[in-house]
Structure 1
Amino acid sequence: MHAQDHRALGNRLDLFHQQQEGPGMVFWHPRGVALWRVIEDHIRRRMRRAGYREVRTPQILARSLWERSGHWEKFGEDMFALEVEGRALAVKPMSCPCHIQIFNKRVRSFRDLPMRYFEFGAVHRSEPSGALHGLFRTRGFVQDDAHVFCREDQVEAEVRRFCRIQTALYADFGFDEVEVRFSTRPEVRAGSDDVWDRAERSLEAAARAAGLDPILQPGEGAFYGPKLEFHLKDRLGRSWQCGTVQLDFVLPDRLDAAYHDEANGSSRPVILHHAVLGSLERFIGILLEHHDGHLPPWLAPEQVLVASINKEAAPYACKIEQALADAGLRVAFDDGPDTLPRKIVEARERGIPLIAVIGKREARERTVALRHRDGRQEILELAQAVARIAEAATGPVG
């Protein structure tokens, strides 16, 4: 395992680990959860601003639901199944049938559409042990799963809306090169050829209206509909498939989703399945390798280290720590006996981008010696230092 491997970086940065007692699962450490929450909250803000409403659905459902949706026939061998009190159940591998249940719980009108749901949905898939690979391939993971229930004439506007979200979010995380691919009907699929013709025409037209020029991938669509795949290029030139937009005429029919149309009749909605990152675990692995562990200040689990270099400076250093924490920053504190060079090395090893050095002079003059990741140093008054660090650690507007 090389030093730039996300598993080595995760260990060095104390973010997560995996072990034999949880095959294909992840143990997230406090610093890893801090990173996770920053990513999740940033996506949540973007989605809410775009009109999506957050939901949460069960982990275990009756197998009969997955049979009706077609997932059991397609993915049954890869699902965790169990029986409780004589009833066949299954752990969810994806969230789409669950979101349809929420849509179906009320009588819907054409005036309600489009309805946009999103969920950070924990899912599980029985991946073969030989396929498991750190955060890139796990048995338990969380998807940023979104579904839009709309009319067919609303598809174009909804695809354009979501493409804007994706482009902004990828840029936020440092990915500027994005390739889009258009995946068409697979050999094994649900729905008639007429339905697929309609779905493929509609999604391709929406993609082009959104300014995309997708590369054709014949036969790579989902079993229920065609999809757009968004591939990110990292600093090493590798391509990673992350986001998807899938157009679905099949599941609304299979799971009896309906709304009252303008003629006071009953019509099926169209479903757009969306994900920006796909698996959050996998994306964090990609992100760590893309930045070689040196995450930008807004993402870093700890954004600034307050390093006291002698006992006399410790009380003032504590005051600095509190001021930075009060400003909403994620702060680490070190008043141990190590030398300043050693503290700086350890902070860099932990991926902390900013270091506030506090010694006798700083305590006496009520200043902060601020060191940046790129080697720049500056002496600032306390209020200036808090403002400068807060500015450096501010992320993209969500």
Structure 2
Amino acid sequence: MKEIADILTSFKLAQQAGKKVALATVVHVEGSSYRRPGARMLVTEDGQLTGAISGGCLEGDALKKALLAIMQQQNKLVTYDTTDEDDARLGVQLGCNGIVHILFEPIDPQAQHHALHLLEQAMEKRRDAVLVTLFRLSKAAEQPGTCLLYADGAFSGPLEEGALRTEIVNDALETMGNRQSLIRRYGDEKPALHGFIELLQPPVSLVIAGAGNDAIPLVEMAAILGWHTTVVDGRALYATPARFPRASRVIVTKAAEVPEKVAIDARTVFVLMTHNYNYDLALLEALLQAKEEVRYIGTLGPKKKLARMLDELAIKGISVTGEQRARIHGPVGLDIGAETSEEIALSVMAEIKSILSDRTGIPLREKDGPIHAL
């Protein structure tokens, strides 16, 4: 979602400057590609780029296509085919051995439901949403573009009522239920109409318990990824916005009060690293008894520390279920040989990302099958 947030910020600046823009979206990939469906890039008429649709090899050519779409005020689909080993003839040198389909949509700020307006709606709250983009795999065909948003139980967008909308609505509901984006084909006409039914999720909300120096690189790395961070601690001298300028919030509070002061949802994760055993213990107890389930709780320190904490909770009559225990990670982080606070932060961030993505964290060379699911 950071890419989308950056694009929306750039769009507002472009509007203020009176610049025309186009949105480039990877809508379909066959084979291997650096970016997958859902990757986006905003292009202004004077050549400013925000976001990315490749590792940098497509952007130059995509700029030309975007400017053409802006000039003609017409959606366009461009296909980059690198399955031929001699992809140098394309002038892009992808080296990915795949076919990438990119939709370019010139944005009319006066339109009621243009693509960026729908993306802005999706970003307004911490909620899951589904965005539908229709396209045809032919550069000469009409390209409907971004047409429907499902959020907060309601649909909005320019897609007209009818059999097609009904079918797409059902697919959007399926995507929301399965938590998985998909590509669907609609009708029998040629060239075929396809829909990219995209699940959009809010940024990760990382709550760091502990305002020590070792929490600073964790906040910095989270900011780079576009995660929202909250630093909580009972020490007013440590928990200050001046020490954590890139944190979304800094709260001085007792451990037991944290669940009341921090909104917890499916994308909220906690790292307990106050270096104060009693504070971490009290917070762990509060999280285990919170109304909302916390998907990830990381505890800094050795295994014996976590074992002691769980034993003390059991003595107090607080039983930890197997499901709850599986969500508690201590020692926190992946085994990468981390020593410094920066390396530890990298280890922690990698583990959290793997958990939220339902991945193992193994080296990619040991993975069977494609890297990406879609």
Q: Same fold (TM over 0.5)?
A: no
More helix by share: 1
Larger CA Rg, structure 1 vs 2: 1
* Higher RCO (CA-CA < 8 Å; seq separation 6+): 1
Q: TM-score, normalised by structure 1?
A: 0.33
Q: TM-score, normalised by structure 2?
A: 0.35
